[in-house]
Structure 1
Amino acid sequence: MECQRRWRPFSSSWLLILEVFALRETQAAHHRHVGQFTAVSTVHSLLELNAISFVDDIEIGSYNKVHRQIMIKISWISEALGVKYITQRRNLLVDHEQHFWWAMHYFAKNETNPNRNHTGQLLADCEIDNGIKVKSHIHLIWDGEEIYRIDEEVGHWETLKPEGQIYHHVLHSPFWTDLRKRYMNLYCVDLMKKIVGYKNVRDNVPPEVTVSRHVNPEGSIILSCTATGFYPHSILLRWEKNGKLGVWGKETSSGTLPNVDATFYLHLTLELPPEDSGMGYTCVVEHSQLKTPAVYPVPEKPTVETWVLALGIMLAVILLLSCAGAFIVWKKKNKSDMYV
């Protein structure tokens, strides 16, 4: 019995430690949450209000004024957030209908045509890395033109259109400043942490890597390394020569950018001086889905660029079709000559 009593608290503590490490492992990546609010109204009434939420470029939920319900796109997210949280969020969005109409009415108060429709948009995004907020922005758009934006790290609204100056003081008021900070932390950062701390919104995928080399007209050698189709966002590409790090030429990077399928890609190039033969270079790739850093040797011979190959194929097809067309015309002409 004494042994059992001692084991229980130890077991609970051990499970808690495992859960913490599992949560850290899930959060130990870059994540981004984007919220898009679009309202359409006249001076008299709010006609439409739609809200869409994306985590890591995957739509997770939406809301519209007609149904007044939050539509969850991924079933397990309901479990991650809980019924109480979703209900509170839904009630808040219903209340926001009045707030959006008030804001739209305020912006359109000098409108000469009271029946004209206006569109207002609020775009909010935040990013975390290893569970820590690293970026946060808000954009306010009126009838398709961005009027204001703010970088939360800077904390100062930037007015992008002269007509927006008259409302500048409203955005800087203590009430709206406190509301903005509270909402961005509560519904952008904390909501995202709840979701990614429970489960990734998509499966992790290792990168597909291609390495090439070609000689430019000036005689220098260009080495290219492209990693694409990977998730999560964090990745490291580097050049090594004969297994060693160093600086051998001009290095450029595309930066990690999104693909249409919510995965990412990164393109890295190295321009070597003409006196460098380009031999012995490798592209080393590190990603959470690779057990060890992957090494990709650079081809010894120049690689045929994809666009050159595609152009050659296209020209060959055009030539073939032209020859076939000429043969058909020639054959028809011969037949007509036989009946003359």
Structure 2
Amino acid sequence: MQPPLCHLLLLLLYLLLSGTWADLEEAFTIRLLQTSTFQNTSFVDTEGLGMLEDIELGSLDKHSWAIGFYEPWVRPALPHSDWDTIDNMIKIYLRKFHYLISEGAMQKDVPYPFVAQCVAGCELYPNKTSRAFAYVGYNGQDFLSFNVDNATWFLCQDTDLSPYVQAVLQKYTAFTELVEFLFNNTCVDDIELLLHYGKAALERQVPPVTTVFACTRSPAQLLLVCRVTGFYPRPISVAWLRDGQEVPPGPELNTSAILPNADLTYQLRSILAVAPQDGHSYACRVRHRSLGSRSLLIPWGDSDMVLIAGLGAGLLALWVWRRRKHEHLESESRNSILSNED
């Protein structure tokens, strides 16, 4: 019997991961992604990608269907397996996949071109429990999902094609048994060695570069912009402080999603709308793993960046900044008076 849809992706996941790492302190996710574009009845373009968190481990050459690795530590982490056999399995799987989808498209009169996608993987948690997942997509939308607990494929959207694909997948009992074995019994053991070899990459920390500037939307409104970029890993906390107090969510506060940079770092912007010369002091506060227990505090109107270790130091830094700003304004006022008297 030939491998069914997503069968090889899950089997490849099993072959890619093995070993032990006892120091797991956070959740990790492995994803194997396949995208097949069916241009017509005779031409299909397939791409594949394996990811550990946001790190690309390797990809599938769309012409030869051979596996290529991106990170130098991936291949040493792999078990000693016969890669000729794996390559053959990939080719067998993709041929079967293309055949099954093409047959379904012909029977259900599905218009070309269309895109079929498959995502399979698992999440490993600090307590060594895991959650498996497998999804099939059609033209960028959820199509089918697999429930590991009862080994059943569910329809995400009811179309002419989805019941056909669901029935094809559901009848492969060997596939169901494989999913249950891989993810319910071996996911924890199989993922740990890859995490061990990739530990340096996963623990990489790059501190954020933060700038604060303003632009005028109208005479009655000033936009304060806090631009944070070049940081890794992805989780970060960015907040505006008004007179030392965090500005709560509201219509005047707009923070973008975290977006990727080309060098595998991230960026975002937080914009606060204020009234010009409203008498308040403002600062952008950034918290990130690379800063440890400290925070980055950048006041509006001052180019100096301040690292604070806690609330007391933060308030002290803010008081010093406001005091200096007040003295500067008083100095400018005196100079203006002297100039007028002259």
TM-score by structure 2 length?
A: 0.58
Residue aligning to 1:178: 176
RMSD: 4.6
> What are the superposed Cα offsets for residues 245-303 of structure 1, whole Å, 9 maximum, x if unpaired?
35385422212222233221122223346784341x222211111134333333239xx
Q: Which has the larger radius of gyration?
A: 1
- 1:211/1:224 contact within 8 Å kept: yes
- 1:249/1:270 contact within 8 Å kept: no
> Cα 1:184–1:238, aligned 2, differ >3 Å: closer, same or farther?
farther
Amino acid aligned to 2:197: Y
* 75-84 or 89-98, larger mean C-alpha shift: 89-98
Residue aligning to 1:206: 207
Residue aligning to 1:158: 156
> Cα 1:125–1:252, aligned 2, differ >3 Å: closer, same or farther?
farther
Residue aligning to 1:253: 255
> What are the superposed Cα offsets for residues 104-126 of structure 1, whole Å, 9 maximum, x if unpaired?
342233389xxx99765324266
Matched, 1:100 2:97: yes
Amino acid aligned to 2:218: P
Return the alpha-carbon distance in structure 1 between the equivalents of residues 124 and 291 of structure 2.
Answer: 19
Amino acid aligned to 2:69: I
- 1:31/1:55 contact within 8 Å kept: yes
Return the alpha-carbon distance in structure 1 between the equivalents of residues 179 and 124 of structure 2.
Answer: 19
Residue aligning to 1:148: 143
TM-score by structure 1 length?
A: 0.59
Residue aligning to 2:67: 70
More helix by share: 1
Matched, 1:83 2:80: yes
Tell me, what secondary structure is at the counterpart of 1:300?
coil
Tell me, what secondary structure is at the counterpart of 1:75?
coil
How many percent of aligned residue pairs carry the same amino acid?
A: 19
How do residues 29-68 of structure 1 correspond to structure 2 at under 5 angstroms?
33-38=31-36, 49-64=46-61, 67=64
Residue aligning to 1:263: 265
Return the alpha-carbon distance in structure 2 between the equivalents of residues 247 and 259 of structure 1.
Answer: 28
Matched, 1:290 2:291: yes
> Cα 1:147–1:56, aligned 2, differ >3 Å: closer, same or farther?
closer
- 2:223/2:273 contact within 8 Å kept: yes
Q: Which runs of 5+ in 2 are unaligned?
A: 1-20, 303-342
The structural deviation recorded for 1:232 is: 1.0
- 1:213/1:298 contact within 8 Å kept: no
Matched, 1:121 2:116: yes
The structural deviation recorded for 1:100 is: 0.8
> What are the superposed Cα offsets for residues 16-66 of structure 1, whole Å, 9 maximum, x if unpaired?
xxx634x43xxx3776735124366976x8876542324455442233586
Tell me, what secondary structure is at the counterpart of 1:60?
strand
